[in-house]
Structures are given as structure tokens and as C-alpha cells.
Amino acid sequence: MQIVEPSSPHAAQGVRPSPIGVRRAALLRNEDWLSSFLGLALILVAASVFAAGGSIKWLAVAPQKWSHASDVLQQLRLNGVRYAALFAVWALLLGAAAAALGLGAVKFWRAFAPVFLVTAAIYFLGLWDQAAHYNLEPPLVALALGLLFSNSFGVPRWLDPGLRVELYIKVGIVLLGASLPLTLLAWAGPVAILQAAIVSLITFGVIYAVATRLGLDRRLAATLGTGGAVCGVSGAIAIGGAVGAKKQDISVAISLVVVWAIVMIFVLPLAARALGLSTGVAGAWIGTSEFADAAGLAAAQTYGGYAGNVAGISGHPDAAVTAFTLMKVIGRDMWIGVWAFVLSLIAATRWERTGIESRSGAGEIWKRFPKFVVGFLLASLLVTWFASGYAYGEYKTSVLPGLVAPLQALRTWAFTFAFLSIGLTTRVRELVAVGARPFLAFTAGAAVNVLLGLFLSTRVFGAFWSGLGQ
Amino acid sequence: MSCSTCAHFDPHPAAVEAAFPGLSSLSSAYAAVKAADGLCSRHERYVAASSDCTMYSSASTCTRQS
């Protein structure tokens, strides 16, 4: 059945829109499809300009290494117009997405301007030649700065429309698809799915078993379980809705995921660094053990930044983000619809009644499918097809710097918008008190998740992940 | 009748994000995984739009009455 929101003008007037109109409206109000459209549009424009003999390098400006403040001023003097143009393009594209979501383009632009400026400052800081020495990796700086600001001074509400973590992170993931050949996805995808399936099933089982043994409601146990085992906050709301959990229970699951995910952003890269893991192995571990895409990408990008800057860390810088994405997006996120369908069936047939009858069918799997994965795969397909027309040598000397590298720079911008937004939207005072039993159940699962993820990433599939990107 | 047309049901993403602090930090109510789920003010639960219950109250009836 097509859904008409009670608050929509159609519902208020008692008018039923046509099925095509409803489907189009649903597409435009869905962040996953919007981020796919934006990412693919940028890739298509970049490829078209490249095919015509140019490059979007001029637009995809990024700070360069610097030693003294005067170097930064010099870069800004030389590239000020390019930064202004980049801001205008991001504001236009993301503002259009915000308008489609009903957030208001003008409200978005007003909030996005400071987000862009602070992101640029963080990006510059990360390129300081002493940044690695002081652990000033941009994802961690963005996150820490945001957390500090929002929890000390508070964030004015007018900034909220510009703090769209998921929109930024999904646009970045689609752009990431442009730098991953389809052959790599086909080669590494099955391993990622296998490893992620082992960890997801065991972690869910542990959280669910501990939670129910402690006397928690089964719907809360399932919501906590998928939050810890599949895809963090997204998993919690997907399963919470599918099984009809209490509102308070979903808030508890969200609070636990957010707190643990942020702890893991700082702990996982430090632990991987102490263990001397290669970038590919660390990315796989983070992909198995972090709860949310945005949080995991912050940790993985931080670790990728260690390659070449920290003694003993081997591997290509991009391998951490690549392995993370394969593990998290392909191995875990894609399956949330299946989890929702199965758990809604179990809830309807086996668990205590709530007075609400679930009518979910197999269509649930596609409804909840994270559609940005489609954009990510199409981006990979598009650039793989485009690059197939070039010899390997020409790809390295021409396509890589002229097409792929600018898209990577745009991706870094999008990710950094997201990392800053995580910090600015995480207000500890607003998170609900969780109680000891949910905390114990979730923490038991998190511990198993981290240790099992480490074992599989280093011992079972270690050689595979080490070889990624080489 | 399903929750989707019930007066007690609110699937609006802004309302869902307001109801769950922390949701927008690492996810979004505008994401595909949310589907058409919404808040049920009658049962204080978060439910799928395709669900139903005996306390259904038509949203369009309420609109006409008001």
C-alpha cells in the first residue's frame, strides 16, 4: 500500500496522489537516492569533462602540505577563487538535496557556510607537516572539535539543517565507488560478506542472549542486537520499527550505539596502531567492529592517514577506507532489510503481543535496503567502464590524476563535513539514561565484536586484507 | 486499516528525529532503512506503517472533523 503522510497536503485535502507521483515524491524525500544522484552526477560531470580533454581538478581543490602559517596564506591567496567555487558547488548540490528533504535550501545554506569554513580549517590543519606528530588527523580533529563545542557551549538551532551527517557520508561513499574498480568489489566482496556474516550473527546472538537473560524485553534485545551487530543507529531504528519496539527502548539503543561508536572512533585506530596492523587489515577490523558508517569511516580514514607518516604502518593509505567500506557497506549494511523481515516475522509469531499486529512481507527487504549502495556500485561500474578504454600506463598517468584524484578530493570534503557534523550533533546531555542491564548486554556484544573482528581480520583473513590495494 | 492512515501515527522524519535524540548523529530519519515507520502516540511505540491495531482512528476523519 502506498503511504500518504497524514501531515501532507494531499492527506489534509483527502486527495490521493497518483502512484507515479507518490513514487517520485518518495524518491526525492529519500536521502539514500538523493545522495546517489548527487554522487553520480559529480562523477558523470567529471568523466565528461575528462573525456573532452579537461579535468575538474581546478574545482576539486584541496590544501597542500605546509610548514609555516605563511604557506597557508600563500595557498589561500593562490586558490581563494577555487575554494569559493567549490563552496558554491557543494552549497548548490547539497542545498538542492536539503530542499528535496523539506529542510529548506536557505536554512541549509546559512548553516552550511560555517560548516564549510570549519571543515576547510580542519583540512588545512591535517596537512601541517607536524600534524601526524601531534595526532591531528582531520577526522579526529573534526570530531573532537565538534564534541567539545556542542557539549561545552551548545550549538545554535539554526546550524541544525547544515549538520546532515548521513547525507554527507552517503555522498562520500558514492564518490568512493569511483575509486574502486568493479573487479575489486567482485574479488573482495564475498570475503567481506563471509567475515561480516560470522561477526554479525555471533554479536547479535550474544547481545540478544545476554539481554533476555537479564530480563529485558525481546524487542529491546533485538533492537540492541542489530544496533551492535549490523548497522548501528540505522539498525536500531530499522529493527525497532519492524518489531514495534517501545519508543523509550529505541532511545536506549540509540544512546548506547552513539556512545560506543564514538569511543571506538578513538580507540580502534590507536589499538590498531599499537598492534602495527597494515591499513587493509585495520580497515577490515574497523569495518567489522564499528557500529555506524560515519563513525567507522572516521576511524578508517584516520588510520589510512598513518600510512607513510607513522613508523611501522604499512599499506596504501586508501586501503583502510576501502576495506572498511567493503566490510561495512557490502558485508553488513546491505542485509538490514533481511534482518528486519526475519525479526518482524519472529516478533509477530513468537513474541508476546503488544496490541499492534505487524503485517510486514518480503517487500520489507527492498523497502529498507540502503539505496546509496546502488549509487556506490553504479559509481564503481561507471568508472570501471570508462577506464577500460585506456591502457594501464595511460590510466596511471592520465585517468588517475585527471579523473579519480579530483573525485577522491571531493570525497574527503564530504567525509569531513560528516565528521564535524557527528561531533556537533552529539549532545551527551540529550542522550537518555540507559540503565545497567541494556548497558551490560550491549557491552558484552561490543567486546565479542571487537575481539572476534580482530581475530578474523588478522588470523583468518589477514593475508587477504593485507594484500588489498597492492 | 493500517497505521499509515491512523491519526495516532506520525511518520514524518523531523518528528522521528525529534523523538529520538542522537538519531541524527550517526543516522537519519530520511534514510531508506526507516522505510515508512513512524511514532504511535496511542501505544508509545515506533511501528511499521503496514501494522494495524484495534485502536485505529482515521486521520482523514479527524481532519474533516476539525
The reply to whether B60 falls in a domain is no
Q: Which residues in chain B touch residue A101, judged by CB atoms under 8 angstroms apart?
A: 13, 30
Instruction: Report CB contact under 8 Å: B32, A369.
Output: yes
Count how many domains chain B has.
1
Instruction: Report CB contact under 8 Å: B55, A355.
Output: yes
Mean pLDDT of B11-18: 96
Please name the member of A167, A244, A432 whose beta carbon is closest to the beta carbon of B51: A244
Instruction: Report CB contact under 8 Å: A4, B53.
Output: no
The reply to whether B25 falls in a domain is yes
pLDDT score, position A13: 44
The band of A15, judged by pLDDT with boundaries at 50, 70 and 90, is very low
The band of A23, judged by pLDDT with boundaries at 50, 70 and 90, is low
Domain ranges of chain A: 31-466
Residues above pLDDT 90, as percent of chain A? 86
Q: Which residues in chain B touch residue A432, judged by CB atoms under 8 angstroms apart?
A: 21
Instruction: Establish whether this prediction's ipTM goes over 0.90.
Output: yes
Size of interface A-B (CB pairs under 8 A): 196
Q: Which residues in chain A touch residue B60, judged by CB atoms under 8 angstroms apart?
A: 11, 14
pLDDT digits (tens, 9 = 90+) for A311-330: 899 999 999 999 999 999 99
Instruction: Report CB contact under 8 Å: B22, A430.
Output: yes
Instruction: Report CB contact under 8 Å: B25, A422.
Output: yes
pLDDT score, position A9: 41
Distance from CA of A128 to the nearest CA of B (A): 28
HEC string of chain A equals: CCCCCCCCHHHHHCCCCCHHHHHHHHHHCCHHHHHHHHHHHHHHHHHHHHHCCCCHHHCCCCCCCECCHHHHHHHHHHHHHHHHHHHHHHHHHHHHHHHHCCCCHHHHHHHHHHHHHHHHHHHHHHCECCCCCCCCCHHHHHHHHHHHHHHHCCCCHHHHHHCCHHHHHHHHHHHHHCCCCHHHHHHHHHHHHHHHHHHHHHHHHHHHHHHHHCCCCHHHHHHHHHHHHHHHHHHHHHHHHHHCCEHHHHHHHHHHHHHHHHHHHHHHHHHHHHHCCCHHHHHHHHHHHCCCHHHHHHHHHHHHHHCCCCCCCCCCHHHHHHHHHHHHHHCCHHHHHHHHHHHHHHHHHHCCCCCEECCCCCHHHHHCCCCHHHHHHHHHHHHHHHHCCCCHHHHHHHHHHHHHHHHHHHHHHHHHHHHHHHHHHCCHHHCCCCCHHHHHHHHHHHHHHHHHHHHHHHHHCHHHHHCCCC
Please name the member of B32, B51, B59 whose beta carbon is closest to the beta carbon of A358: B51
Q: Which residues in chain B touch residue A151, judged by CB atoms under 8 angstroms apart?
A: none
Please name the member of A232, A241, A254 whose beta carbon is closest to the beta carbon of B47: A241
pLDDT score, position A28: 73
Q: Is residue A21 pLDDT above 90, yes or no? A: no
pLDDT digits (tens, 9 = 90+) for A129-184: 998 888 899 999 999 999 999 999 999 999 999 999 999 999 999 999 999 999 99
The reply to whether B62 falls in a domain is no
Q: Is residue B66 pLDDT above 80, yes or no? A: no
pLDDT score, position A25: 65
pLDDT score, position A8: 44
pLDDT digits (tens, 9 = 90+) for A84-108: 999 999 999 999 999 999 999 999 9
